[in-house]
Structure 1
Amino acid sequence: MKFYQVQSDITVRRAEVFDYSASVPRGNYLKMVDVLVFDDRTVECCLVDTSKIHSTLLIEDRETAEQVLLADRENRISAAICMIPGGALRISKRNNRLQTDPISAFKNRGWLSLHRTGDAENPTSQLDRQLKETSERLREAEARWRESEKKLDGEVGAAKSEIQELRQRAMVLTKSLSKIENKLEDLQRGTGKLESHLEDHKNLSAQIQLNVERIKTRKAEIETLVQEYRQGRDKFTACGNEIKRIQRDKAELNAQIEELRDKIGEARDAVRSHQMKIGKFRADVNKLDDFVHVQLPPVIETLARRAESHCSREEAALTPEDTIEKVDSQIEAIANTLSKIERDVGVSRDQAKLDVIRAHDVYSDVKNKYQDSVKLHNHLASSLQARLDNLTATASLLIQEVNSVFESALRLRGFTGKIDFDFAKARLVLKVSTKPSEKLRNVESFSGGEKSFAQIAFLLAIWKPMQSKVRGLDEFDVFMDQVNRRLALKLILQKVADNPKTQTIFITPLQISQVDGLDHPSVHIHEISPPERVTRA
């Protein structure tokens, strides 16, 4: 570091490799980790853990960087680095306010052009991105295929030309051989010249054999190129089938979404229709009850009095001495009486019978609906009572579990206590005793360290039934003395070790003293130095 004149701290840590893809910010901006090349995965994970290079964006424009940070609702982006005249700026967000730190030592030497990467925000955009990437791969494969085909055609043409040339040379050699054979008799007197021709013949034969071997090699290369062409064609066909499958899946998903929306609308309309029918039935029931119990009895009593005024029950009784003429006369008299009654009442007998039948039918219908409503009410009441019983039993078990963990945590310091749950007033009270012989009392009367220890025990107790994957506690030990702080850390390490699949984060501005359990492989301590900030006006 002295040789390179670097003034910085030396990081000493255990070699560790982990997967940080879940915490990478979404979006299509270049990240610092994208422009770095690592030969050692451990160095990459170290920089991710200490410098957050996976969540630090590289953006050319300052205004764009600020907009991206303000739009980050998940707080996945740790900072954004943008260029300014004479250097660069590091922009971060804290409590929804932007803070800038100048990077004066950085000079804009060959600023990298940004490219767009990242995932889409919704399934439809993700499918479109996959289609686009698949199309890109298809175009690249098609280009490679055309290039290979072009190269293959060139090599095949060259091989054909070479074969044609070899054939022509073979024909020339054949003609030369025939001429040599014809002149063998003439060359018998020239032994030296014959030997020379024989040597030429051997050389030409060797050349022919060499050309034959070259032709075989060219054929093997042509077969290899044909195999590569077939493989490229198969990949191109597979990519096309994959695109079609993705398009079909997308169409099916869109159809299912539209169908579900239609069903939801129909269900809502049906609910509104049933509610209107229930209101109408209740009004009909009330009207019928009013007619049966209020309006109908006076009418019946009036008709009975009028009938008795015309003829008593004893007078209406028939005797064996009554003749047909007498009965007819009585019937005629009764008919006249009934006609008089109809004129007095203003309703005919047939109309009165129809009204009574209709009223009885309406009453029966409303009564059946009322009985169905009563059955439904009883069923809902029993279901509600069962759910209430389950809720009560669940709450009782949770109270027992919370009190058990709370008492177990207090026993680390020799304390006793319990948590009183008052559901009627929607509150709970922590009662603790520092000695077994003393009565339980409210923790508000304890000292700062004892109160903080009891509150931490309470937090660990309610964390037990929550079963959260990530938990955090900030500045839990600022009001504790060293004894209570050491015991609280010991308690926290014991309880956290019981849930190895849950990540628990504790933040404290104080130094961490030596406590049993801090050297466990699952415990990681990160010390952060105060940053130099420049607040914008």
Structure 2
Amino acid sequence: MRIVRDENGLGQPSPVRTNNRRKRDRGEQAALASLSNVDNCGSTQPSLKVRRVDNDDVLRDSGPRQEPELEAHPEPEPEPEPQVQPENTHAPESEQQPQNRMSGQRAGQLLKLRLQNFMCHENFEMDFSPHINFISGTNGSGKSAVLQGIQACLGTRARQTGRSTNLKDFVREGAHHALVAVTLSNTGEDAYKHELYGDRITVERRIGPQSSFVLRSESDRKVEQGERALKAMCEALDINAGNPVAVLTQDTARSFLAGAAKDKEKYSLYMEATLLEQIAEKQAAAEAELKEGKQSLEWKHKLLEKMRAEVEALRGKVSLLRQAADAREHQDMLSKTLAWKRVLACESDLGKLKKQMDELGPMKLRAAEEDHSEALQEYTKLRQALESRTNSLHQNQSEVAANVSEIKQLKEALRSAKSRLTETEHIAEAAKRSVADAQKRVEDLVASASEDQANVVSASQAALADHNARVSEKEQQIQSLGVECQNAHETLREQQAILADHANKEDALKGEEDSVAREVRWLQQELARIRNSAHNRVQQFFPRNRVRSGMDLLDQIRQHQSDFEMPPIGPIGQYLSITDDRWAVAVEVALKNTMNKFLVHNQRDAELLRRLASACGYNDIVCVIRRLDLRRHTMDQSQLPPGGTLTVMNVVQCNNPDFETPILNYLIDAASIERVALARNYEEGRQLAYSRIRNIKSAILEDGSQMYQKGCSQAYIGAGTQSICPRLVKNLANQVAGTEERLNIKTAELDDIKQRLDELLRQREHHASKLREFEHRHRSLNKRKIKTESELDEIVRQRPDEILHQEDARSVLEAEIQEANHKVFEMQQKLLERERSVKQAKEREKAALDAVEEKRHENQQLQAKIAKEQEAMRDQSKLLNDARAKSDSFFERVKHIRKRLEEELPAIKEEVTGELQRAEQCALELCPKEEGLEAILQTKEFVWQKLGEDASQEDFEKNMEDDSLEEALEKVNREIHATERNAGGCLEDLEERLRLKDTRLRRDDSNYIRVSNLMNMFERGVALRRSSLKKLDQTTESTVQAWFKYYMEAKDHIGTIALNRNEKKLVLSVRLSDARGDQRSKPVTDLKSLSGGERSFTTVSFILALGQITDNPFRAMDEFDVFMDAVNRRISMELLIKFAYDQQHIQFLFLTPQDMSAVNDACRTCEAHHNIVIPENFIKVLRMHPARNGAQP
């Protein structure tokens, strides 16, 4: 960095910029670019020694001002490096020429602002100058609302504005929503999507129940919408309205100007403005990813070592495949023995069968007929007992249905009570807000009265010295009490916020409780439906409230069957089944809307069916008219999905052959079951649904999730949180067990929610007690404040006669205060009435809830009784089924024996004869009969030799049985196969596997070396960037330090910045000059000890120094001069004008409640001191009139 002197002797640090600013990419790319180039930034930066040489009376002289002189003392330069300056780093250099001098708007600058129903503005518009905009107005005129509107429209969170935590609070009272529109320039080389937007971009944000962002073009055409599009535009145009250096809000400005900002807050402001914290976070993320990559590389190295061991093991197995030749001869002998032994066994079976047909069959038939007669009598007795229990069960179910109807009526009353409670609570909340607004009105009127009192005192200062002292004392007491009241009010609001948070949590838990309770009831109903379907499967294909009507309709159809041209088919689901329960849920989703329907042949049959259904009370029946006598659809392969694709048609089958053709034709036409694929998991479903496979309409997963593609859109419909209970299942017991398990889980979850809700209610009561204590303290402080204000009024009424004529305006204001206090009292009384209404509504709601719970408990007892009856019926049904099965088994046994005697035994004889012929033919294929018999003798000799001489005949015969011989043959085969298995397969397979593994090993080894080299390169890069980040931090600190010193030299002060990165603190140190200008005071680090003007000037200098680091198209400061005297205000304005003149590519907004008469003086002084000419339209002054009723102009 170098410092030079201009014609007037002023040496000025200057940021390093190019006249044509390069357009930055995304924020992350800019940060990486800064890191990569930071090695060369600031390596040759000199330290600065600033010395003031002008006359200390220059502020009072009318002649030209002597400018300061800067001397540069460079440090020893290191080895030369390429000088690459990061884009966001500004180093003090020589006096720069103004950039983009009067060249028009820069992309991203503000052109126009429009507010509708936003804060205090009902309908407000403002146009901006491309350079300096001074916005002046008194308190209440809506100046700060301009900045809040810009921030809200450009994506800043409500908390960052410092005015509220919720954007809905910005909506003007009485309005439903607010609209903020900001028009930005979009010209120059940095324009954003100029082909779409043109020269202007208008961002509209609607704030209300449904907030939204809309980006419009120059022709007011909507181009994009949503927060993501807004962020993309702001990143491209370098707009960051949430950065306090770019937009210094009123609260932040007052905090700094009042000296309240802590060192950590200054450090946070510094880090946010310079983006150093964001860069450091990205650096840490890169190091974490590098570490993860190195761990993955180590894991890959272990896999490679394991693969090398596998390749070596394969090489040793090839020789084992040639050791199985000796076992082949033994295998051949056993095969021949088994073949001819089967021939001999068939000859023996044929002789035994002839004996059975002639003697044993008739005797077994007589015994079976006697057993069947006894079982039939037992079955008749059990059936009569079950019919009696069934009648009792139907009576209990009727009582349950009546209770259900009454519960519905009680629930309707409960919903009405909840609705009235919600409405009453909303009215109470509105009353609370009205009271708060009225109290704010009183505070504003009191503040206005205080200002009038100050004006009256200043008018007659000499005559009212004693009177002023008494007034000042009371005012100080009022101010102290006001601070205490404000603190108590803030504490009260915090406690109210805690209670509101507990209320929100309570509402959330209640909503969760209702949701889980509904699911528990739904599971209970499903469980009952599944159990009922075990007795009558067709019931589950009618709606729950139409089961009885549906069964009556089926009876009517059977009675009027001859009236139909062709009998109706339905409900369709009763004739369907699936081949695998695994796909039960998926098939339920695919066919859910078809299984309840009826198929009819023509319109006449449909009308007849609807009349019968209406007579049975089944008014919502769905009839599908289609020809039932058509032949089945034929589809060739070109109309079906590729082979191997499992579809719904593959797993669904019709149980009734008579109805199979019309039902499957309808399912193909209505549900496309041949084109709906079934997938086992998400990946398989995505491949089937999104790969445009021929003749696949959609894919359904096992859990019921659906996937399909329509045009360029891909859709995924999840199964949802509530389980799907399929109706087409084989094993109902498993379905009942699964439903009971889910019901138990949800019941436990419901109990846990109730416990958490009780705990939350106890905490809420505790915080409500604390709130009442805070309210009592707040009221006490208000009473003391009102009493002190009354004493002050008494003193004011005793003023001297010289200023009595100035009291008229104050009297009017006092009357307004009294009227406002009266309104506050009335509103508080109304609020108490609303709260009593809320309490009464809650009591009505509780009464309705208790009635519902009582009736529900009664219904649960009836259902428990029904469950016991059903359990007893199931047991008796089981006994009846067992008796029926026993009777049927005996009857089947009689039929079997008779059939065996008449049909099966002759057939068996014929079959055995054929088997004998086939066995003999197979044996002859192995060897002739003589050779087979010889093989049997050899096998016997082998067995005797194996058993030894002491073996018994029983052991010999056992070893000669077919099972033993087959086991021996299997053992020989295992020995042969074991050799191959130990080797891993046949020789050809092993050689192929060895070749593939060796090729893969070489490929993976090469990839490992390549990735390892890349990882080493990445590690060096991360280390380099870590070093570069440290240098960038140091360079940025020195740059901000130099600019801060330079701006403080405008008043001959010395300012320094001290950063403590460990404690995250930033300390501003100021050494003030004395009146003569040749001595300086001790350094001051506590800005509170400075006067208001010096404190404000120091803060402005610090913000301007940080401004050299940022690159926002516009900057705004609210109430920067609120504590300044005339001298400091003029110098600060001169600095701001000169800064804006040097940075003409940046737009400036300065908001102040002060008079704007000093702007022209500061402009002329700046032109004279710096030898510049400020253009005529360079500065725009806007005067805002009060927007609120009663605000002072």
TM (norm. structure 1) is 0.37
- Using CA pairs under 8 Å that are at least 6 residues apart, name the structure with larger relative contact order, 1 or 2: 2
Pick the structure with greater CA Rg. 1
